[in-house]
Chain A
């Protein structure tokens, strides 16, 4: 096999390897464009959920295909899910607190002028 033919078969193999990943890459860029556009569409309270849903979709693509969770032993997915489960615990139990605070304990927006007067200078 001459060097030239080898490099040609290498290139062909490379193309075959990378096709799938390139498709995912294009999908990711499309999602990026989508989320950017949606950020400027007035949807009231829905803007934030939509942008995070798109972020979750992107993350899922990266995790499943680039991080190979789809073709790995279930054990690895379990480790990933453990992280997410405990993150959910942190959020869920912290949110038993803030929305249910009593009037006296609730955090209120401070008045702007207070900051200037408190400064020691």
Chain B
């Protein structure tokens, strides 16, 4: 019965509806890849033009925060996938537990990122007149550092809000989570946010460590 509740206009079968939702999300993700791609292009070019200055700046980020955060996001992707799998089998309490864990891991990431930002500000790593490093091009790296991590954090915040919303709706009952395309699609978005961080990690934290 719950499957019929998930079916919406203009679709006539649940399979088509789920395929559409997944396809729509994948197209949007392709769009997101190009959105972040523009910033990766900028960094690639500047790194090629000013290799020494960029590496000098890359050494200044806190690799401990970066690595822990990477681990948190990778684990959150696992819990997200488990929530989706549990939903397919209709295991409500497991879905709720995994969604809660996913949102919590995402929140931990943001909190740690906040601490890291505080430290960065404290160390004068914000581009401007009293920037820590004296090579002008080093500021280019931190220009991108702030905007890339900031935009990523915005994406993650949206994902956390969405996960929490679905948590509440499933918890209250009446939400046909077994047949709904919502959870798998939300999972796709969550994993993309994870993948972007997977590439930000070597770009921002691993350069110039040797």
Give me the 9 closest cross-chain CB pairs, A-B, nearest first: A83-B30, A51-B202, A25-B78, A79-B26, A83-B33, A39-B206, A42-B210, A87-B37, A17-B85
- Per DSSP, are chain B's interface residues mostly helix, strand or loop, or mixed? helix
A66 touches B191 (CB 8 A): yes
Q: How distant is A53 from chain B, measured CB to nearest CB, in Å?
A: 10
Nearest B residue to A43, CB-CB? B210
Question: Contacts A109-B53, A109-B135, A119-B129 hold; do A79 and B202 have CB atoms under 8 A apart?
Answer: no
Which A residues are closer than 8 A to B by beta carbons? Answer: 10, 13-14, 17-18, 21-22, 24-25, 28-29, 32, 35-36, 39-43, 47-48, 51-52, 54-55, 58-59, 62-63, 65-68, 72-73, 75-76, 79-80, 82-84, 86-87, 90-91, 94-95, 98-99, 107, 109-112, 114-116, 119
Question: Contacts A48-B207, A62-B194 hold; do A54 and B202 have CB atoms under 8 A apart?
Answer: yes
27 A-B Cβ contacts within 8 A?
A14-B94, A17-B82, A17-B86, A18-B82, A21-B81, A21-B82, A21-B85, A22-B78, A28-B77, A29-B75, A32-B71, A36-B206, A39-B205, A39-B210, A58-B198, A59-B198, A63-B195, A66-B187, A66-B191, A68-B184, A80-B30, A83-B29, A87-B34, A91-B44, A109-B137, A112-B135, A114-B136
A32 touches B50 (CB 8 A): no
Other than the given A10-B91, A36-B63, 12 more pairs (CB < 8 A) read A17-B85, A21-B78, A22-B78, A32-B70, A51-B202, A55-B198, A59-B195, A59-B199, A62-B198, A66-B78, A98-B45, A107-B49
Q: Within the assembled complex, what's the spacing in Å between the Cα atoms of A21 and B85?
A: 10
Q: Within the assembled complex, what's the spacing in Å between the Cα atoms of A54 and B29?
A: 21
Q: Within the assembled complex, what's the spacing in Å between the Cα atoms of A42 and B41?
A: 25
B23 within 8 A of A: yes
Which B residues are closer than 8 A to A by beta carbons? Answer: 19, 22-23, 26-27, 29-34, 37-38, 41, 44-45, 48-50, 53, 63, 67, 70-71, 74-75, 77-78, 80-82, 85-86, 89, 91, 94, 129, 134-137, 184, 187-188, 191-192, 194-195, 198-199, 201-202, 205-207, 209-210
Question: Across the interface, which residues of B come within 8 angstroms of A22, CB to CB?
Answer: 78
A76 touches B23 (CB 8 A): yes
Nearest B residue to A82, CB-CB? B30
Question: Across the interface, which residues of A come within 8 angstroms of B85, CB to CB?
Answer: 17-18, 21
Question: Across the interface, which residues of B come within 8 angstroms of A42, CB to CB?
Answer: 210
A28 touches B201 (CB 8 A): no
- Per DSSP, are chain A's interface residues mostly helix, strand or loop, or mixed? helix
Of A29, A86, A109, A112, the contact of B50 (CB 8 Å cutoff): A109
B136 touches A110 (CB 8 A): yes
Question: Across the interface, which residues of B come within 8 angstroms of A98, CB to CB?
Answer: 45, 48-49
Instruction: Please indicate which of the listed interface residues B63, B67, B78, B199 has the most CB atoms of chain A within 10 Å of its own CB.
Output: B78
Question: Across the interface, which residues of B come within 8 angstroms of A86, CB to CB?
Answer: 30, 34
